[in-house]
Amino acid sequence: METVIELKGVVAVLGSFPALAGVSLSVQRGEILLLQGPNGAGKTSLLRVCAGLMPIERGTGSILGIDLATNRQDIRTRVGLLGHTNGLYLDLTVEQNIQFWASTVGASQEEVANAMSTMRVDGRLAKVKAGQLSAGQRRRTALASLIVRRAEIWLLDEPHAGLDAAGRDELDALLRNAVAAGATVVLASHESERAAGLATRTVTVDGGGAR
């Protein structure tokens, strides 16, 4: 088994607040890891640290064998994060948003079309501005643009939120496919029953630590 995420005693701060107060976590390739815990437990910060977005203040960590302290930029090209925000441009249409993200990594038109049909944001929806979408539709668009970025580690913060029943099934299928293709998934979710069925392992995050 290959370890893709390795954190040891990681402290990360928001301003002066220690969002993570010494997290140790190890994730193997091909896992679907579920992060559980109450609000404010540090799940989001943990995902952001793994994405190389939040600097670590103390402790050590490596993602895909790359050191978190020194080479965060290299990590970022290989992981995909879907946070609370969707990272969409609200004045662009669904298709323009996905096209933009595709062009940053040089994804083909075929990949764009596939991603859009996988997340069912093709057809009529493709021409709608992201600012006019419902919460669930925005989530789908964000997931579609995540697909074209071909991440090796998927870091998902409440991915089920706002999705309808069909959308959740599609998301689960999408994640299983991604894992089958060699990706690793870490997700934080309050939908414990649904997510637990999907996950291969569950970790409880609380008080800025992981158990």
Partner 1 sequence: MNSAVASPRGTGTRNTRILGILTIASMAFLALLGLVFSAEDRDQGSSVRIMYVHVPSIWVAYIAFGMTAACSAIYLSSRNRSLIWDRFAGAAGEIGVLFVAVSLVTGSLWGRLSWGTYWVWDARLTSTAFLFITYLGYLAVRRLGGTHRQRARRSAVLALLAILEIPLVHFSVRLWRSLHQEATVATGGTDVHMDGLMLFSLFFGLISFTLLFLWLVIHRQRSLALEDAMENRGLDAAIEARREEAVS
Partner 2 sequence: MSTFEQRRRVAFAVARKDLTIEWNSRILVNQVAPFAAIIMVLFAFALDNEGILQRVAPGLVWLATLFSMLVVIQRTFAVESADGALDALRVAGVDPSAIFIGKSLALMVQLFALELLLVGTAVVLYGVEMSLVGFAEAIVTLLTATVGLACVGTLYGGLAAGARGRETLLPLLLLPVVAPVLIGATRATEAAFGSGGAQVSEGWPWILLLAVFAVIFAVVGSVAFGPLVDE
**Residues 15-34, mask of contacts with partner 1 (x by CB under 8 A):** xxxx--xx------------
Q: Which is nearer to partner 1, 11 or 113 (CB)?
A: 11
Which one of partner 1, partner 2, none interacts with residue 86, CB within 5 to 8 A by kind? partner 2
Residues 6+ apart with CB under 8 A from 77: none
Single out the segment in contact with partner 2 by CB under 8 A; choices: 82-90, 117-125, 179-187, 192-200: 82-90
Identify the residue among 61, 80, 159, 208 touching partner 1 (CB under 8 A).
208
Q: Is 104 in the site for partner 2 (CB under 8 A)?
A: yes
Stretch that binds partner 1, among 9-17, 101-109, 122-130, 166-174 (CB under 8 A): 9-17
* 21 interacts with, out of partner 2, partner 1, none, CB within 5 to 8 A per kind: partner 1
Helix (H, G, I), strand (E, B) or coil at 91: coil
Rounded to an integer, what is the distance from CA 194 to the centroid of its chain? 17
Of these, 52, 80, 159, 209, which contacts partner 1 (CB under 8 A)?
A: 209
Amino acid at 183: A
Residue choice 8, 127, 176, 211 for contact with partner 1 (CB under 8 A): 211
Backbone angles phi, psi at 101, to 5 degrees: -65, -35
State the CB neighbour count (10 A cutoff) for residue 34: 23
Per DSSP, the three-state class of 46 is helix
If you compute the radius of gyration of the chain from its CA atoms, what whole number of angstroms results?
Answer: 17
Give CA–CA dist 155/63, Å, rounded.
12
Comparing CB distances to partner 1, the nearer of 59 and 159 is 59
Cα→Cα distances 142→12, 80, 90, 133, Å: 26, 11, 12, 12
Among the listed residues 57, 67, 91, 169, the single contact to partner 1 using CB under 8 A: 57
Give the whole-angstrom CA distance, residue 130 versus residue 1. Answer: 40
Let me know how long the chain is.
211
Q: Contact between 153 and partner 2 (CB under 8 A)?
A: no
Report how many residues bind partner 1 under the rule CB under 8 A: 17
Where along the sequence are the contacts to partner 2 (CB under 8 A)? 51-53, 55, 73-81, 83-93, 96, 100-101, 103-106, 129-130, 149
